[in-house]
Structure 1
């Protein structure tokens, strides 16, 4: 067994442990941190496969952006942890069934003959896996890439629509109603009589002092 195999098994064990702790820990902040650990170990496995671009993208996109957003949401919102864990054990058999099915599919895919070539393939000098990935992605798989982008856009819009709630105490303005406004709607001329100050009360003249 060579050194890279030892590193792979160590990273795989850490990845499995962190993935299990994501769904079993009671604290959502700890679950998010375990998910960050899972992303880091997955990036390490990508580095072992000489896919540096995918490893860096995994760290920058998921760890640097998505997980930071998750932590902000979890730590700023008052989440009822006990309510979130309701129904965990009742849904466990269904989750295990799906997990076993997915594991079987991965075993069948990884056991295919085309994934185990008879001789190692050496990359030529100046080869860039990032350039090769971009060339394949935007030529051979351009249509699936665009379809995935459309699906993600629809999912994002649907999430916004489902979570959007109109607040009763919120003051909002309708631009179309503001454009249609007329002078008579906002200005009213009222004729009011002029105010006249009442005359000052007459005061009696002061009497002359007696000599």
Structure 2
């Protein structure tokens, strides 16, 4: 009873936080809701017996990826009002693509069939061999049976990362400072070395330092007969 109640609570919070990630107008709030979704998904993995996936989700995604997203969003000077200008123009195309994806999900759900032994394996991630740990069993599946799918998913993430960088830097101003390796290592404007006698100073090389301006002298203050300075005020 307690496990079922905890499952529904974590699942409800996970779905709500996932919706807020997409619908939040502030990108910082979206990243914070994403971190909340990761924590709830980690709790679901822990309840299912996959403690390795639960810890990896917290350490890798929450501790590294989500925090990196947060820093990138806060440091980049992105004009979100300008990004939303073409929303109405591309809304019909987006609606068509969304409808196609929704129909594909319906087709997949309609043709989905559970394996005969799926009911017995539900909420039981312990391998059949008691000598094999949960982490070892997961490694065997990922790096043997599904190695090609694993590599393809990594390639997709790499392409998405490169695309995000290109889209971010495409409107970079022309007068921004860029690194020029050729200028840094060039020796065309190098200063020749010269042997200067000890004590000769810079004048031997024709280098004359500009004299600094003298500090202003303090103004003299007039004093009266009693030795007091300043202006005399009239008394009425």
TM-score bin (small chain)? 0.5 to 0.7
Partner of 1:25: 24
TM (normalized to structure 1)? 0.66
Show structure 2 runs of 5+ residues with no match: 193-236
Show structure 1 runs of 5+ residues with no match: 190-211
Choose the corresponding residue for 1:133, options 138, 153, 156: 138
Q: Residue 55 and residue 98 in structure 1: after superposition, are their counterparts in 2 closer, same or farther (change >3 A)? A: farther
Structure 1 residue 21, shift from structure 2 partner: 1.4
Partner of 2:54: 55
C-alpha distance in 2 between matches for 1:81 and 1:177 = 36
Describe the SS at the equivalent of 2:66: helix
Describe the SS at the equivalent of 2:144: coil
Choose the corresponding residue for 1:173, options 165, 173, 180: 180
RMSD across aligned positions (CA): 3.7
Which has the larger displacement, 86-95 or 68-77? 86-95
Describe the SS at the equivalent of 1:63: helix
Instruction: Report the number of matched residues.
Output: 184
Q: Deviations over 1:162-194 (max 9, x none)?
A: 536585352633349947x6xxx44799xxxxx
Q: Deviations over 1:33-80 (max 9, x none)?
A: 111111111111111211111111111121111111121122233444
Partner of 1:143: 148
C-alpha distance in 2 between matches for 1:174 and 1:188 = 19
Structure 1 residue 131, shift from structure 2 partner: 0.7
TM (normalized to structure 2)? 0.60
Partner of 1:15: 14
C-alpha distance in 2 between matches for 1:176 and 1:11 = 57
Structure 1 residue 90, shift from structure 2 partner: 3.3
Q: Deviations over 1:89-135 (max 9, x none)?
A: 93674475366346536745765234624577764544411111112
Partner of 2:114: 112
Describe the SS at the equivalent of 1:168: coil
